[in-house]
Structure 1
């Protein structure tokens, strides 16, 4: 398999399969075609088969952590997870060339959680020294992105979930936070970018400002329109919001104006930025797509014929199936990190209008093959 990773080719061993950052990291590896093996640190003694599969590991990335619990659980639990990760690699006979730590506690932080994360880092650092491996500590905090757990990951997840459900936002703090998107964190963990570049991609904002920004994005998007996206942070915020809104309303109704000549239907109203619109024809029984995007916004509108749109959240079995027809046009926006396809289910050629928020760049197409 080919890879664009700054850490070269070769197998990665990755912990934190069930977590938010862990899923985003695996989605990036999946997009890159980079092989990895999951290390399940939730169990104390992984099977011999699982351990043996780790033997060719080139890069070990420890993401798993405990963020809720008693002081003892936070302190001792995070250390135990690091020990389990190292023990699994040593039992396999692996000798990684690099150990990467997703450290969600900044230097100088206090409390049981910070202490547990610091001690876990020491476990990994000692293991790296034994293996003769380079040790990379990637400090992350206030990570937001698609499919974070409301009330658990960051305030952004909570706000997006509540907005999508039409609920008020509990703005009870004027604290300043620096937020970074989970795909940026994933790029840092695999070496696409360094810590300095990761820090530069962060956006510093107060909690009330975050709430206002999300309300403004949601107000426009919920009308079926695309809000202005002046920079990557706004794009990432909208994509995060869309991951919650999609579960509530996967299609958006379109308004048609009819007279003696026929009908006119507005497909996309974009409030700024670049964009690209195209029209495709698809023969009966033919399927297009079977790919996903990490950053790109994409809208499908069937204007003639009938079709079935299938979407699947990457690396999961979570799916949505939407039947659409040109007789009643609706807009279906593809959530980022969801594989999607469209199949002509009729007997005549299907005509579909596609819109994306950026101009297609063959050098960076942001299109990754995966069956929906």
Structure 2
């Protein structure tokens, strides 16, 4: 992969919208305000309407499971279809990017398929006079990966969140990299050296232990110690699975004749920032999402409706909460969220985030929940 960080203005054509990397890439482009268009290669009649304005073409679509022929010829065919779709549209991108695999150097059906796809894209880039960037991806993990399919991390998180047995069938070491880091490399935000630096090498049993420790603390309503960006990314990945089964967290309250004391958040060895807001009846706050930030909402007085929506989808979760019975709701990363005062009195809400707010890097992207 080239060391350039240059980005071209104009449309980004993206294949592979249904996969883990494809969704994370599209969410990043959406956050950055860069226009993109999905290229559906699984359809018998892929559309090329509007693709003539393509400035960057990023090929993510791939086949990771199936018969040998599907892995070998199928991945080559997807790359050919991507190139043909752009050619039919009259597109001449300036940058062509391939989401490749570390297995492309291996003599396996999948490795040969990915290597063949890289060659197809490289030849097209040369013909178009475009820069070709081959992004080598190892064990990518992230929010909303498919258990038993994308990566062992998704499988572990899915099982942990549901209290299921988590079998560890290998003691092999692997390099793990978060899907938002991969997305940044594909979009040209970071280069190959930075992507490699963000990877974390550890064994499968060590991964299982790390996730188990993070989950055991988080499931009590507390925030575990996040010593590294990898820990944060692992916890955010786990939270995406836990949110499906336990979106509301009961809070510890001590009551006596004077009233009650409720603990909002307990953080193990980390930084953070806590604030409160007042909101008049009928007013909505938020309508934004975060890529990395952990954020907790606790209504302490009044009645509120919290709405969360998975970015680039219509998948929503709605929670009506009250200060009479406070609960904690942690906002999943890459989900837009809002809070509306649905009562008749001022709403008082406490917010906690795991980082100290930096106005130059707010990690806040406007998007309607």
Shift of the alpha carbon at 1:45? 2.8
Q: Distance in 2 between matches of 1:66 and 1:93?
A: 27
Gap change, CA 1:332 and 1:164, over 3 Å in 2: same
Q: Is contact 2:8-2:55 (8 Å) kept? A: no
* Aligned mate of 1:200, from 197, 200, 209: 197
- Residue of structure 2 in register with 1:24 after alignment: 24
- Aligned-pair CA distance for 1:21: 0.4
Which aligned runs of 4 or more in structure 1 are off by greater than 3 angstroms?
none
Output the TM-score relative to the length of structure 2: 0.98
Alpha-carbon separation, structure 2, partners of 1:8 and 1:60? 11
Aligned-partner Cα distance in 2 for 1:107–1:116: 8
Quick check: 1:99 aligned with 2:96?
yes
Unaligned runs of 5+ in 2: none
Question: 3-state SS of the aligned residue for 1:51?
Answer: coil
What is the CA–CA distance in structure 2 between the aligned matches of 1:6 and 1:163, rounded to whole Å?
41
Write the distance in 2 (CA, Å) between the matches of 1:219 and 1:105: 33
Equivalent-residue separation in structure 1 for 2:126 and 2:52 (angstroms) = 18
Aligned with residue 183 of structure 1, among 157, 180, 184: 180
1:303 aligned to which of 292, 300, 303: 300
2:339 is aligned with 1:342: yes
Contact conserved, 1:6 with 1:193, CA < 8 A, in 2?
A: no
User: What is the Cα deviation at residue 255 of structure 1?
Assistant: 1.6
**Partner residue of 1:242 out of 239, 263, 279:** 239
Deviations 1:161-187 (A, max 9, x none): 000000121111100000000000000
SS of 1:170's equivalent in the other structure is coil
Contact 1:13/1:37, CA 8 A, preserved across alignment = yes
Give the paired residue count: 365
1:127 is aligned to 2:124: yes
SS in 2 for 1:138: strand
Contact 1:105–1:118 under 8 Å retained in 2: no
What secondary structure sits across from 2:201 in the alignment?
strand
1:215-230 equivalences under 5 Å are 215-230=212-227
Are positions 1:10 and 2:1 aligned together? no
* Structure 2 equivalent of residue 40 of structure 1: 40
User: What is the rounded CA distance, in whole Å, between the counterparts of 2:216 and 2:18 in structure 1?
Assistant: 32
Report if aligned partners of 1:310, 1:319 keep a CA contact under 8 Å in 2: yes
Shift of 1:106: 4.0
Whether 1:56 and 2:53 are equivalent positions in the alignment is: yes
Aligned to 1:167: 164
Counterpart in 1 of 2:326?
Answer: 329
Q: Is the 8 A contact 2:13 2:39 kept in 1?
A: yes
Deviation at 1:354, TM superposition (A): 0.1
1:80 maps to 77
1:282 matched to 2:253: no
* RMSD (Å) for aligned C-alpha atoms: 0.9
Q: Pick from 231, 240, 248 the counterpart of residue 251 of structure 1.
A: 248
Please state whether the residue corresponding to 1:118 is helix, strand or coil.
helix
8 A contact 1:175–1:207 mirrored in 2: yes
Query: 2:356 is matched with which residue: 340, 351, 359?
Result: 359
For 1:352 and 1:110, how far apart are their aligned partners in 2?
57
SS at match of 2:134: strand
Secondary structure of residue in 2 paired with 1:327: coil
Q: How far apart in 2 are the matches of 1:293 and 1:272? A: 22
CA-to-aligned-CA distance 1:203-242 (integer Å, 9 cap, x gap) = 0000000000000000000000000001100000000000
Query: The residue matched to 1:110 in structure 2 has which SS?
Result: coil
In the TM superposition, 1:147-166 aligns within 5 A as: 147-166=144-163
Q: CA deviation at 1:144?
A: 0.3
Partner of 1:266: 263
Q: CA deviation at 1:107?
A: 4.9
